[in-house]
Amino acid sequence: MDGMEQPSPMSEQQDQVQQLEEHLKQLEEQLFQAQKLSSVGALASSITHEFNNILTTVINYARMGLRHTDEATRTKSFERILAAGQRASRITTGMLAYARNSSDRQEPTDLKRLLDDVLVLVQKDLQMHRIVVDLDAPRSVWAIANGSQIQQMLMNLIVNARQAMNEHGRLKLVIRDNPGEGWAEISVGDTGCGIPAEQLPHIFDTFYTTKTADARGQGGTGLGLSLCRRIIESHQGRIRVESHVGQGTTFTLKLPRSESPAGLIDTSAA
Ligand SMILES: Nc1ncnc2c1ncn2[C@@H]1O[C@H](COP(=O)(O)OP(=O)(O)OP(=O)(O)O)[C@@H](O)[C@H]1O
Ligand SMILES: [Mg+2]
């Protein structure tokens, strides 16, 4: 019979569902990547500033080295130029690593290192807004995690915190190993405007934003926290927020902890 060779309507539907699911997964990956790049955009002006400062240092010390022929001055000039070049290279390397499209593999990852890498990128932005950073973290804390996604999450939380504070705030970053409960924990706290109780239930919704476009047309897309929530869910972790209007907000992330992998124990000085 002819009909026997036709795929049954049921399996055809299953195929379609599978195709749509794959398509959805691809779109989600693209959304993650696009949001990652747009969060770097929030840092464009501070990073441009930083490069300008570095170039000024390089130019001034090159001039000084050319003008003064004694060895001490020349050595000092070369040392300053080298240090400035190394600072620039840390930023570009960090930026390229951050923007790179990566897998969604989860593996033992040192949260302290991830935070340090994100801080290299946001440091100037914080400094330009006169924000003091309190960092309270052991040398390393390990979680089963996707490093690139955790960095994206930290970047979103830190940029949000900075935007909530304007000038003269305090950013409090804490990393804790909590073996008793099986979590590796990170919190990002600010002394900013806080979130009114009626807004709290919505902040993790996709496209929810209270940020209106500024003079340069830079408003919020409302994607930052919704991606944070998805990332935390894919790690079977927890995200919670505590906020007091006029005092500030703290986001706490909990990720499945991991023992520090054998052979990778950090022996560098603290
Ligand atoms: N640290 C914070 N302090 C005060 N309000 C916050 C804080 N973090 C988030 N919010 C509130 O939650 C909303 C949603 O945040 P989310 O990061 O998802 O989007 P956004 O920052 O507005 O836009 P985008 O991240 O796409 O640039 C913000 O518009 C803001 O109202
Ligand atoms: Mg945001």
Q: What is the pLDDT of residue 242?
A: 98
The CATH architecture annotation of domain 106-256 reads 2-Layer Sandwich (3.30)
193 CA: nearest ligand 1 atom:
4
Rounded Cα distance, 183 and 238, in Å: 9
Residue-range domain boundaries for the chain? 49-94, 106-256
Question: How far, in Å, from the CA of 159 to the mean position of ligand 2?
Answer: 6
Backbone phi, psi, residue 248, to 5°: 145, 180
CA-nearest residue for atom 12, ligand 1, is 203
* pLDDT tens track for 143-169: 999 999 999 999 999 999 999 997 889
Question: How far, in Å, from the CA of 193 to the mean position of ligand 2?
Answer: 14
First to last CA, the chain: 76
* pLDDT tens track for 182-239: 999 999 999 999 999 999 999 999 889 999 877 555 678 899 999 999 999 999 999 9
Mean pLDDT of the chain: 91
Q: What is the pLDDT of residue 269?
A: 46
pLDDT at 267 over 60: no
Question: How far, in Å, from the CA of 60 to the mean position of ligand 1?
Answer: 41
DSSP run (H or E) holding 112: helix 111-128
CA-nearest residue for atom 1, ligand 1, is 161
Ligand 1 pocket, 160 CB below 6 A?
Answer: yes
Ligand 1 pocket, 166 CB below 6 A?
Answer: no
* pLDDT tens track for 33-44: 888 888 888 888
**Is the separation of the CB atoms in 84 and 54 below 8 Å?**
yes
Question: How far, in Å, from the CA of 169 to the mean position of ligand 2?
Answer: 17
* pLDDT tens track for 122-134: 999 999 999 999 9
Rounded Cα distance, 92 and 120, in Å: 10
**Is the separation of the CB atoms in 240 and 195 below 8 Å?**
no
CA-nearest residue for atom 31, ligand 1, is 210
